[in-house]
Amino acid sequence: MDDTSRENAFNLLYDESYEEMLKFMKGFFYWDWEEAYDVLQEVYLTAYEKIDSLSEHENPVGWLKQTAKYKTYHVFEKKNRIDEILTDENIMSLNQKFEDDYSGLLETDLKNVLSEDEFRLFYDFYMKGFTINELAGFRESTDQAVKSKLARIRKKARKQLFILIMFG
Protein backbone atom coordinates (compact mmCIF):
# COMPACT_ATOMS: atom_id res chain seq x y z
CA MET A 1 0.00 0.00 0.00
CA ASP A 2 1.45 3.38 -0.95
CA ASP A 3 1.48 6.38 1.40
CA THR A 4 -1.60 7.98 -0.11
CA SER A 5 -3.60 4.76 0.18
CA ARG A 6 -2.44 4.34 3.77
CA GLU A 7 -3.49 7.91 4.60
CA ASN A 8 -6.89 7.42 2.94
CA ALA A 9 -7.50 4.10 4.71
CA PHE A 10 -6.57 5.61 8.07
CA ASN A 11 -8.69 8.73 7.53
CA LEU A 12 -11.68 6.59 6.59
CA LEU A 13 -11.24 4.39 9.68
CA TYR A 14 -10.81 7.45 11.88
CA ASP A 15 -13.86 9.25 10.49
CA GLU A 16 -16.07 6.16 10.76
CA SER A 17 -15.00 5.15 14.27
CA TYR A 18 -13.99 8.27 16.20
CA GLU A 19 -17.33 9.10 17.85
CA GLU A 20 -17.93 5.49 18.88
CA MET A 21 -14.38 5.13 20.19
CA LEU A 22 -14.54 8.40 22.13
CA LYS A 23 -17.73 7.28 23.83
CA PHE A 24 -16.11 3.90 24.52
CA MET A 25 -13.08 5.56 26.13
CA LYS A 26 -15.12 8.03 28.16
CA GLY A 27 -16.83 5.04 29.73
CA PHE A 28 -13.49 3.92 31.16
CA PHE A 29 -12.25 7.36 32.14
CA TYR A 30 -15.52 8.93 33.28
CA TRP A 31 -13.62 10.90 35.94
CA ASP A 32 -10.95 12.23 33.56
CA TRP A 33 -11.95 12.86 29.98
CA GLU A 34 -8.52 14.26 29.15
CA GLU A 35 -7.09 10.83 29.93
CA ALA A 36 -9.71 9.33 27.61
CA TYR A 37 -8.55 11.61 24.79
CA ASP A 38 -4.88 10.79 25.49
CA VAL A 39 -5.40 7.03 25.41
CA LEU A 40 -7.60 7.30 22.33
CA GLN A 41 -4.83 9.22 20.61
CA GLU A 42 -2.43 6.37 21.42
CA VAL A 43 -4.94 3.86 20.03
CA TYR A 44 -5.15 5.76 16.74
CA LEU A 45 -1.38 6.12 16.59
CA THR A 46 -1.08 2.34 16.87
CA ALA A 47 -3.81 1.96 14.25
CA TYR A 48 -1.93 4.27 11.91
CA GLU A 49 1.25 2.24 12.35
CA LYS A 50 -0.64 -0.97 11.53
CA ILE A 51 -3.03 0.39 8.93
CA ASP A 52 -1.80 -2.00 6.22
CA SER A 53 -3.04 -5.06 8.09
CA LEU A 54 -5.88 -3.22 9.84
CA SER A 55 -7.44 -2.17 6.54
CA GLU A 56 -7.82 -5.89 5.73
CA HIS A 57 -9.18 -6.75 9.20
CA GLU A 58 -12.76 -8.08 9.30
CA ASN A 59 -13.65 -5.90 12.32
CA PRO A 60 -11.38 -2.84 12.57
CA VAL A 61 -13.52 -1.12 15.22
CA GLY A 62 -13.34 -4.28 17.34
CA TRP A 63 -9.57 -4.21 16.90
CA LEU A 64 -9.53 -0.57 18.02
CA LYS A 65 -11.60 -1.43 21.10
CA GLN A 66 -9.36 -4.34 22.03
CA THR A 67 -6.29 -2.13 21.62
CA ALA A 68 -7.99 0.51 23.77
CA LYS A 69 -8.55 -2.05 26.53
CA TYR A 70 -4.88 -2.97 26.64
CA LYS A 71 -3.73 0.63 26.50
CA THR A 72 -6.16 1.46 29.31
CA TYR A 73 -4.71 -1.42 31.34
CA HIS A 74 -1.22 0.02 30.88
CA VAL A 75 -2.38 3.48 32.00
CA PHE A 76 -3.87 1.99 35.15
CA GLU A 77 -0.75 -0.12 35.67
CA LYS A 78 1.55 2.91 35.38
CA LYS A 79 -0.57 4.90 37.81
CA ASN A 80 -0.75 1.99 40.26
CA ARG A 81 -4.53 2.04 40.08
CA ILE A 82 -4.92 -1.70 39.47
CA ASP A 83 -4.89 -2.43 43.20
CA GLU A 84 -7.80 0.00 43.60
CA ILE A 85 -9.77 -1.95 41.00
CA LEU A 86 -8.68 -5.41 42.12
CA THR A 87 -9.99 -4.98 45.66
CA ASP A 88 -10.99 -7.97 47.76
CA GLU A 89 -14.63 -7.08 47.10
CA ASN A 90 -14.11 -7.10 43.32
CA ILE A 91 -12.14 -10.33 43.46
CA MET A 92 -14.91 -11.96 45.52
CA SER A 93 -17.45 -10.71 42.99
CA LEU A 94 -15.30 -12.17 40.24
CA ASN A 95 -15.10 -15.43 42.20
CA GLN A 96 -18.90 -15.53 42.22
CA LYS A 97 -18.91 -14.98 38.46
CA PHE A 98 -16.48 -17.91 38.12
CA GLU A 99 -18.78 -20.13 40.15
CA ASP A 100 -21.90 -18.95 38.30
CA ASP A 101 -20.43 -19.39 34.83
CA TYR A 102 -17.40 -21.68 35.06
CA SER A 103 -17.53 -22.87 31.48
CA GLY A 104 -17.86 -19.45 29.83
CA LEU A 105 -15.69 -17.16 31.89
CA LEU A 106 -12.83 -19.46 32.78
CA GLU A 107 -12.70 -21.22 29.46
CA THR A 108 -12.55 -18.06 27.38
CA ASP A 109 -10.44 -15.78 29.53
CA LEU A 110 -7.99 -17.38 31.92
CA LYS A 111 -7.42 -20.47 29.82
CA ASN A 112 -6.19 -18.16 27.07
CA VAL A 113 -3.34 -16.83 29.20
CA LEU A 114 -2.52 -19.75 31.50
CA SER A 115 -1.05 -23.12 30.60
CA GLU A 116 -3.16 -26.16 31.47
CA ASP A 117 -1.04 -26.86 34.56
CA GLU A 118 -1.19 -23.21 35.69
CA PHE A 119 -4.95 -23.14 35.20
CA ARG A 120 -5.40 -26.34 37.22
CA LEU A 121 -3.29 -24.93 40.08
CA PHE A 122 -5.20 -21.63 39.96
CA TYR A 123 -8.51 -23.45 39.98
CA ASP A 124 -7.52 -25.84 42.77
CA PHE A 125 -6.26 -23.05 45.01
CA TYR A 126 -8.78 -20.28 44.36
CA MET A 127 -11.92 -22.20 43.47
CA LYS A 128 -11.64 -25.52 45.25
CA GLY A 129 -9.90 -24.01 48.27
CA PHE A 130 -7.00 -26.41 48.60
CA THR A 131 -4.22 -25.16 50.88
CA ILE A 132 -0.66 -24.54 49.76
CA ASN A 133 0.42 -27.56 51.79
CA GLU A 134 -2.19 -29.81 50.16
CA LEU A 135 -1.24 -28.64 46.68
CA ALA A 136 2.44 -29.18 47.41
CA GLY A 137 1.60 -32.74 48.50
CA PHE A 138 -0.46 -33.45 45.37
CA ARG A 139 2.32 -32.10 43.19
CA GLU A 140 5.16 -33.73 45.14
CA SER A 141 6.66 -30.29 45.55
CA THR A 142 7.50 -27.85 48.33
CA ASP A 143 5.21 -25.24 49.81
CA GLN A 144 7.58 -22.52 48.58
CA ALA A 145 7.57 -23.88 45.01
CA VAL A 146 3.75 -23.82 44.97
CA LYS A 147 3.70 -20.29 46.45
CA SER A 148 6.15 -19.11 43.80
CA LYS A 149 4.17 -20.71 41.00
CA LEU A 150 0.94 -19.15 42.30
CA ALA A 151 2.65 -15.74 42.40
CA ARG A 152 3.66 -16.13 38.74
CA ILE A 153 0.14 -17.26 37.84
CA ARG A 154 -1.38 -14.25 39.63
CA LYS A 155 0.90 -11.97 37.67
CA LYS A 156 -0.15 -13.56 34.36
CA ALA A 157 -3.81 -13.60 35.32
CA ARG A 158 -3.80 -10.05 36.70
CA LYS A 159 -4.19 -8.43 33.29
CA GLN A 160 -7.08 -10.74 32.41
CA LEU A 161 -8.75 -10.11 35.77
CA PHE A 162 -8.41 -6.38 35.27
CA ILE A 163 -9.92 -6.60 31.81
CA LEU A 164 -12.80 -8.74 33.09
CA ILE A 165 -13.59 -6.33 35.92
CA MET A 166 -13.20 -3.17 33.89
CA PHE A 167 -14.59 -4.26 30.57
CA GLY A 168 -16.87 -7.17 31.44
CA distance 168 to 157: 15
CATH top-level class of 85-167: mainly alpha
Whole-prediction pTM value?
0.53
Is 99 or 59 the better-scoring residue by pLDDT? 59
Range list for CATH 1.10.10 in the chain: 85-167
129: left (phi over 0), alpha (psi -120 to 50) or beta: left
CATH top-level class of 3-79: mainly alpha
Q: Tell me if 10 sits within 8 A of 48, measured CB to CB.
A: yes
Q: Does the pLDDT of residue 30 top 50, yes or no?
A: yes
Q: Does the pLDDT of residue 63 top 60, yes or no?
A: yes
CA distance 142 to 133: 8
Range list for CATH 1.10.1740 in the chain: 3-79
